[in-house]
Chain A
Amino acid sequence: MSAISLRDVSFAYPDAPGAALSDAQLEVFPSELLLVIGASGSGKSTLLRTVNGLVPHASGGRFGGEVTVFGRSTRTHHPRDLADVVGFVAQDPESQSVVDNVERDIAFVLENLGFGQEAMRRRVEEVLDALGIAHLRNRDPSTLSGGERQRCAIAGALAAAPTALVLDEPTSQLDPQGADDVLHALARLNTDLGTTVVLAEHRLERAAPLADRAVLVADGRVGAPADPAVLLSAYPGAPVVTQLGRALGWDPLPLTVRDARRHALAEPLDLAAPQREDALVPGDPVVRATGLGVTLGGHRALRDVDLAVREGDVVALFGRNGSGKTTLLRALAGLVTPTRGQVTVADGASVAYVPQNPGAMLFSATVRRELEETLRLLGHRDAAVVDHWLRALHLDALADRHPRSLSGGERQRVAIAAVAVGGAQVLLLDEPTRGMDAPSRAALEDAVHAHAKAGGSVVLATHDVELAARCATHAVVLGDGDIVADGDARTVLAGSLFAPQVLRVMPPFLTVREVETELARR
Chain B
Amino acid sequence: MSVTRQAPAALVAADDATSAAVATGSWHAGVWLLWALAAAACVQLAPSPVYVALVIGIASMVVSIHARPGPYARAFPMLLAVGVLFAVVRMVLTVATTHGLGDVLFSTPHFGLPRLLGGFTVGGTVELPVMLQSLNEGFAIVGVMGVFGAFNSVVSHSELVESTPRAFFEIGLVVVVGLAFVPATLSAIHQVREADRARTGGRPIRKGRLLRQIVPVLELGLERAVTLAESMDSRGFARLGASTRDRVAGWWGAASLLMLAGAFVALVGQAQTVATLLGLAGAAGLCAAIVLASSGSRRIRYRPRHMRRRDWAIGLVTVLAPLAMATVSVVGDSSLVWYASPLAWPALHLLPALALVPLVVPALVPPMEAA
Contacts and interface: CB of A to CB of B under 8 A. Distances in A.
Q: Do chains A and B touch in the complex (CB under 8 A)?
A: yes
A80 B235 CA distance: 6
B201 A352 contact: yes
Contacts of A330: 194
Contact of B224 (A52, A95, A114, A124): A95
A333 to B, nearest CB: 6
Interface in A139-177: 139-143, 153, 156-157, 160
B310 interface: no
B200 A98 contact: no
Given A111-B301, A124-B302, A96 B227 contact: yes
Given A90-B227, A95-B224, A360-B188, A83 B298 contact: no
Contacts of A139: 16
B19 interface: yes
A323 interface: no
A356 B234 CA distance: 29
A377 B203 CA distance: 10
Contacts of B237: 80, 108, 112
A17 B239 CA distance: 32
Interface string B206-217: 001001100110
A95 B231 contact: yes
Closest 10 CB pairs of A and B: A83-B236, A112-B236, A107-B302, A88-B234, A95-B227, A109-B235, A363-B215, A360-B191, A361-B195, A95-B224
Contacts of A117: 300, 302-303
Contacts of A107: 302-303
A105 B84 CA distance: 42
B299 A419 contact: no
B366 interface: no
A83 B233 CA distance: 8
A404 B180 contact: no
B231 A153 contact: yes
Interface string A68-90: 00000000001111011011101
B302 A335 contact: no
A80 B236 contact: yes
A505 interface: no
Given A359-B223, A360-B216, A114 B199 contact: no
A422 B201 contact: yes
Interface stretch (B116-124, B171-179, B323-331): B171-179
Contacts of A116: 300
Given A101-B19, A360-B216, A424-B201, 13 more contacts: A80-B236, A80-B237, A83-B234, A83-B239, A92-B224, A98-B176, A100-B176, A108-B232, A111-B300, A112-B236, A160-B236, A335-B202, A359-B220
A80 B237 CA distance: 6
Contact of A335 (B173, B197, B299, B301): B197
Nearest to B237: A112
Contacts of B211: 363
A334 interface: yes
17 contacts: A52-B234, A54-B233, A57-B233, A83-B234, A95-B223, A95-B228, A96-B228, A107-B303, A112-B235, A114-B299, A120-B300, A156-B235, A359-B220, A360-B192, A361-B196, A363-B212, A377-B205
Given A94-B184, A352-B198, A88 B215 contact: no
Residue of B173, B195, B238 with most chain A CB atoms under a 10 A cut-off = B195
A94 B238 CA distance: 23
A415 B291 CA distance: 53
Contacts of A374: 199-200
Interface in B213-258: 215-216, 219-220, 223-225, 227-240
Contacts of B16: 138-140
Contact of A79 (B14, B173, B234): B234
Contact of A90 (B180, B194, B231): B231
A314 interface: no
A103 to B, nearest CB: 8
B44 interface: no
Given A58-B230, A88-B231, A138-B16, A97 B180 contact: yes
Interface residues of B, number: 56
Given A99-B180, A121-B303, A335-B194, A157 B234 contact: yes
Contact of A360 (B15, B195, B224, B230): B195
B183 interface: yes
B81 to A, nearest CB: 28
A288 interface: no
Nearest to B209: A377
Nearest to A119: B300
B240 A361 contact: no
Interface in B276-301: 298-301
Contacts of A359: 216, 219-220, 223
Residue of B16, B196, B212, B234 with most chain A CB atoms under a 10 A cut-off = B234
B97 interface: no
A332 to B, nearest CB: 11
Residue of B173, B177, B224, B231 with most chain A CB atoms under a 10 A cut-off = B231
A90 B236 contact: no
Nearest to B180: A100
A100 B159 CA distance: 12
B164 interface: no
Interface in A355-379: 355-357, 359-363, 374, 377-378
Given A96-B228, A357-B195, A83 B219 contact: no
Nearest to A370: B199
A110 B198 contact: no
A83 B239 CA distance: 9
A428 B225 CA distance: 31
Interface in B140-155: none
A107 B300 CA distance: 11
B335 interface: no
B14 A112 contact: no
B158 interface: yes
Contacts of A424: 201
Contacts of B234: 52, 54, 79-80, 83, 86-88, 157
Residue of A87, A142, A422 with most chain B CB atoms under a 10 A cut-off = A142
A335 B227 contact: no
Residue of B16, B177, B237 with most chain A CB atoms under a 10 A cut-off = B237
Nearest to A108: B235
A418 B177 CA distance: 33
Interface in A391-437: 404, 418-419, 422, 424
Contacts of B216: 359-363
Contacts of A92: 224, 227
A476 interface: no
Nearest to A49: B230
A107 B158 CA distance: 16
B11 to A, nearest CB: 12
A303 interface: no
A333 B195 CA distance: 12
A111 B299 contact: yes
Given A78-B233, A120-B300, A351-B201, A404 B219 contact: yes
A359 B223 CA distance: 10
Contacts of B201: 333-334, 350-352, 378, 422, 424
Contacts of B192: 360-361
Contacts of A113: 236, 239
B198 A333 contact: yes
Contacts of B176: 98-100
Contacts of B228: 95-96, 98
A182 interface: no
B198 A354 contact: yes
Nearest to B176: A99
A353 interface: yes
A482 B200 CA distance: 29
A115 interface: yes
